[in-house]
Amino acid sequence: MTASPLSAYPPLNVRVHTPRLSLLGATDELLERLVPTVRKGVVTQPPWPFDDPMSLYEDSPEREWGWLQGVWRGRGRVSSSLWRLYFVVVIDGEPVGMQDLIGIDFAAFGTVTTFSWLSPDVRGGGLGKEMRQAVLHLAFDGLGAREASSDAFFDNHASNRVSQALGYVPNGVSWDTRRGEPAEIKQWRLTREQWIKRRRDDIELVAVGDCLPVLGIDPPPTD
């Protein structure tokens, strides 16, 4: 896949590269290339992984419309108190899913959380773990995060296994609804110190520095 021209909006230029995949800022061109996957259905049977409301549970074409609108809203609603970076997961030049990084009052707390999904065609090969490692490298090494959290419904075994494998520790439980039904959520926490113990040296960050002022972030300290 040829490189897209740089955007005037720095968050769209951020890239994270690992030996297996790339996280690329979610431009409209990349989103359009993901539409067939969303139209086909990201999830079609239980266990349902997403809490309500979630456009990926809707019927087509409302599913695609709602998904695109959600990304567009999130990209435009960025401030120092709330931001969400949307990345398209690309393997061998083909978009296969999304990995998001969310910060709430990041300047004060240094905490982030993550959200992701993959095309059903490529699940089960360790890509979910690789995606999370990539976005955690961005969070801790690129943005200077102090702590990352994740949560998943108790029967979302794939997500919970990724958190456990990457050194997160259990951090309580909560409840939410999915498709209108209540379900219990397992919460996870990963500190900077825990991440450093498993830090990889083969992940490349691109154009992160130009993005920091948009997010209201000072340059991170060096370890």
Query: What tens-digit pLDDT sequence spans the chain (223 residues)?
Result: 555 679 999 999 999 999 999 999 999 999 999 999 999 999 988 999 999 999 999 999 999 999 999 999 999 999 999 999 999 999 999 999 999 999 999 999 999 999 999 999 999 899 999 999 999 999 999 999 999 999 999 999 999 999 999 999 999 999 999 999 999 999 999 999 999 999 999 999 999 999 999 999 987 555 5
What's CA 24's distance to the chain center, in Å? Answer: 11
* Res 129: pLDDT: 97
Q: What single-letter amino acid sits at 110?
A: G
Listed in sequence order, the residues at least 6 apart from 115 whose beta carbon sits closer than 8 Å to its beta carbon are: 99, 100, 102
Quickly tell me which residue has 């300047």 as its tokens.
Answer: 107
* Res 219: pLDDT: 75
* Res 186: pLDDT: 98
* Length in residues, the chain: 223
Listed in sequence order, the residues at least 6 apart from 28 whose beta carbon sits closer than 8 Å to its beta carbon are: none
pTM listed for this prediction: 0.95
* Res 208: pLDDT: 98
Of 104, 133, 135, 100, the C-alpha closest to 117 is 100
What's CA 131's distance to the chain center, in Å? Answer: 8
